[in-house]
Structure 1
Amino acid sequence: MSDLNAPAEQPVPLGRSFAVQGRKLLAYSAGTAARPPVVLLPGGGSVGLDLWPVLDGVGQFATAITYDRGGTGWSDREVRLPRSLAAVTEELLELLRVADVAGPYIFVGHSLGGFYARYLAARHPEHVAGMVLLETGHEDLRKYMPKELTDRWDAFDPDQELPDVLPQEVADFYRGLFEQEMTAWPAEIREPLIANHVHPDWLRVGMREAANISALNDEMRAAGPAPAELPMISLTAMDIDPFKRAVSMGVSDELLQAETEAKLRLYDELAATFTRGENRRIAGVGHATLPMRRPDAVVQAVRDLMAR
C-alpha cells in the first residue's frame, strides 16, 4: 500500500480494456488486416506502450498488438507476482482470442517478453509463425557470464523495500533517462508513461515480475526446444548507453563489455539452433533501450520475417 503522500499514478492515455480470466487487461493495437498479426511482448518492468514506436512502425504494414500483462502497468493489479511462463502465456492466448485476433502470430519479445515468446514456440508452435527476439531472456544466460557479474546479480534482493516516495534526486534522474529516450514520442503517451515509470508502485511491480528467474529458467528447460524450422531473428544490443550504465552502477566498463561479448555468443548460438535463424548486432543501444532507440531495426526484422 502506498503512502498517502505518494504521487498519484497517471491514467492510461489510450488503449482498450478486455476481460480475460476474470481481470481487466489493457491492450493497444495499430495497423491493417495484413497477416500474420504481430504481437509485441514487453520486457520485465515494462508495459505495452514502452513499445509504442515499434507498434506504430509495424502498424504501417501489418496488424500489431501489445498489452500490459496482468499485475502490471494499467492492467488489473490483483494478480500475484511473480508468475510462471505457463500462466502468462495462457493469459496472452486468451487475450488474443477475446480480442478476436486470430493466429498464428509473429511474436516480438523483449528480454522477459522473449522468454514468453520462446515458451509459446516450444509448447504451442501451432500459434507461432515466427519470432523476433530482442535481447531475449535465456535459461542458460548465467553459463555465459563472468562469475563476478553473476555474483553481483545474486547479491541483489528483489524484495528490498522501496520508499513510498522516491527521493526527488532519484526520481529526477530516472525521469531524465526516460525523457531522453522518449523525446520524439507524442506528449499524450510520453508524459503519463514517464510519470508512472518513476512511481514507487510501478517500480515495485517491475522488481517483483522477474523475481522468480530461477524457476522460469527451469520451466523453459522443461518446455524443450522450439521447432528448428521456425523463422527467427534475434537482435543483440552492442553498446553501453546511459540507461545501461545507470542500472549497472558500480560495474566497471570492462565487466560490462565482457557481458556484451558473453550475450553475443549466447544469441549467436541460439540463432544457430534454427534453420532460418539469424542474430543481428545493433549498435548504439543497451539492453533496455533497444526497442526505444532502434525501433527501425525491430520493424525491419519483422518485415524480413514476414517476407520469409
Structure 2
Amino acid sequence: MTDRALAAFDALAGGAATRRELDRGGRALRWIEAGAGPSVLLEAGAMSPVVGYAAVFRELVADFRVIAYDRAGYGASDPAPLSLDLQVDDLIAVLEEVGPAVVVGHSWGGLLAQLATWSRPDLVSGLVLLDPSHETFWRDAEPEPHPDRTRPPADDPRAKDVLTFSDELAADISRSVKAKTHLLTEACRSCLQTDDQLFTYLDELPMILDHVDELAARRTRGVWPKIPIVVLTATKGRPAEFTPQVIAVQDSLAAQSGARHQVVPDSGHYLHIDRPDLVAECIQEVASGTS
C-alpha cells in the first residue's frame, strides 16, 4: 500500500522525509521524520491527523529535525485499546527514541504533551501548546458512548459526522499549504481508510471523558520543569460567552508553568492550519530558549 502521508511530507521536505517506527510489544508506533537540528515532535489533537501540521512541517524542516507522530490507531500506527496511560506512555516511548525534543501539541495533543512533561521532564526541552485542552472544559460534559466494536464502525451514528469533518479538515489543510494539494488530500483520506482507524476516531473522546477526574488529579500532582513554553489561545469562531473562561484557564496554565501566553484573534482552533507562520515562530522561540 502506498504511504500517502510519507509521500506528501516527502514532497514538502524536498525528498528528505523518512518513515520510522518503534515496536511497542508487537504493535508499531510510526512517525515521519525529516531535517536536521534540534528535535521537534508534532502531536495532533483528537480526531485529527498529524498531516494537519503540513504547513508547519514545511516551515521547520530547513532548521529542525521534525518528527510528525501518529498516535496508536492514527495514520500509520497500529491500533490498540485506547486509554490515558497508553497514550501518555506511547508518547514518552517515542520521546525516549527521538528526544529530548520540543513538543508541539494541539488541543488534546497539548494536554498529552503536558502529561508527558510531568512524567519525564528530561525528555522535553520545551513546549508549544496550541489551544490546549483542559479538563475543566469537560467537567460538565455528558458521557459519550464508546463505539460498539461488534458492529462495523460505519454503523455508528457519529461516523457520518466524523467522515464529513475529516473531509472539511483535509480541504483546510490543503489550503494552508497552497501546494501539493492532491498529495495532502490523499494523505488525509488515508487516515480513515480502515475500520480500526475509524474506531479510534470514534473512541477517543469517550476515552477522554472517562478520565476527567484523573486528568485533574495528575495536574494537581504535576511539577513543571524550568523549560521554555508558549501557549497560544485561538478565539476566532469560538462562542463569545465561552471565550473569557477559556482565556482565564490558559492564563492560569501559563502562570503555573511559567509560559508566555498569547491570544490569537485571527485564528480558529486549528492554529497550525490557520496560522502556521505564527506556530513556526513560536517553535523557533522555544527552541532558542527565549520564550
Q: TM-score normalised to the size of structure 1? A: 0.75
- Residue 171 of structure 1 deviates from its aligned partner by 6.0
**1:222 aligned residue:** 217
Q: 2:273 aligns with which of 282, 292, 301?
A: 292
**2:250 aligned with 1:267:** yes
User: How far apart in 1 are the matches of 2:181 and 2:272?
Assistant: 18
Q: Describe the superposition over 1:174-228 as per-residue Cα deviations: whole angstroms up to 9, x where unpaired.
A: 6355314422141353121343466684444212123122343333333322325
User: How far apart in 2 are the matches of 1:170 and 1:128?
Assistant: 32
**1:3 aligned residue:** none
Larger mean CA deviation between 103-112 and 174-183 belongs to 174-183
Q: 1:54 aligns with which of 39, 44, 56?
A: 56
**1:140 aligned residue:** 136
1:28 and 1:48 in contact (8 A); partners too: no
**1:179 aligned residue:** 171
Where does structure 1 lack aligned partners over 5 or more consecutive residues?
Answer: 1-8, 144-149, 245-255
**2:206 aligned with 1:211:** yes
User: How far apart in 2 are the matches of 1:13 and 1:205?
Assistant: 18
Q: 1:24 aligns with which of 28, 31, 34?
A: 28
Give the counterpart letter for 2:52 in structure 1: D
**Cα-Cα RMSD:** 3.1
- Mark the CA change 1:172 to 1:110 in structure 2 (over 3 Å): closer, same or farther: closer
2:128 and 2:282 in contact (8 A); partners too: yes
Where does structure 2 lack aligned partners over 5 or more consecutive residues?
Answer: 7-17
Secondary structure at 1:87 match in 2: helix
- Mark the CA change 1:176 to 1:213 in structure 2 (over 3 Å): closer, same or farther: closer
Secondary structure at 1:286 match in 2: coil
1:54 and 1:295 in contact (8 A); partners too: yes
- Residue 97 of structure 1 deviates from its aligned partner by 4.1
Q: Describe the superposition over 1:40-86 as per-residue Cα deviations: whole angstroms up to 9, x where unpaired.
A: 11111122222121222222222110211112222112x112x21x3
- Mark the CA change 1:23 to 1:173 in structure 2 (over 3 Å): closer, same or farther: closer
Secondary structure at 1:236 match in 2: strand
Give the counterpart letter for 1:192 in structure 2: E
2:100 and 2:124 in contact (8 A); partners too: yes
Q: TM-score normalised to the size of structure 2? A: 0.79
**2:274 aligned with 1:282:** no
Counting only pairs closer than 5 Å after superposition, residues 1-308 of structure 1 correspond to structure 2 as 11-14=3-6, 15-21=18-24, 22-32=26-36, 34-35=37-38, 37-77=39-79, 79-81=80-82, 83-84=83-84, 86-98=85-97, 101=98, 103-142=99-138, 150=140, 153-154=141-142, 157=145, 159=147, 162-163=154-155, 175-176=167-168, 178-183=170-175, 184-187=178-181, 189-196=183-190, 201=195, 202-223=197-218, 224-227=221-224, 229-240=226-237, 256-275=239-258, 277-287=259-269, 289-308=270-289
Larger mean CA deviation between 104-113 and 177-186 belongs to 177-186
1:131 and 1:231 in contact (8 A); partners too: yes
- Mark the CA change 1:118 to 1:187 in structure 2 (over 3 Å): closer, same or farther: same
Give the counterpart letter for 1:115 in structure 2: L
User: How far apart in 2 are the matches of 1:167 and 1:207?
Assistant: 7
1:106 and 1:128 in contact (8 A); partners too: yes
Give the counterpart letter for 2:66 in structure 1: A
Give the counterpart letter for 1:133 in structure 2: L
The alignment covers a number of residue pairs equal to: 268
- Residue 154 of structure 1 deviates from its aligned partner by 1.5
- Mark the CA change 1:142 to 1:210 in structure 2 (over 3 Å): closer, same or farther: closer
Q: Describe the superposition over 1:234-273 as per-residue Cα deviations: whole angstroms up to 9, x where unpaired.
A: 0111111xxx7xxxxxxxxxxx222222211111111011
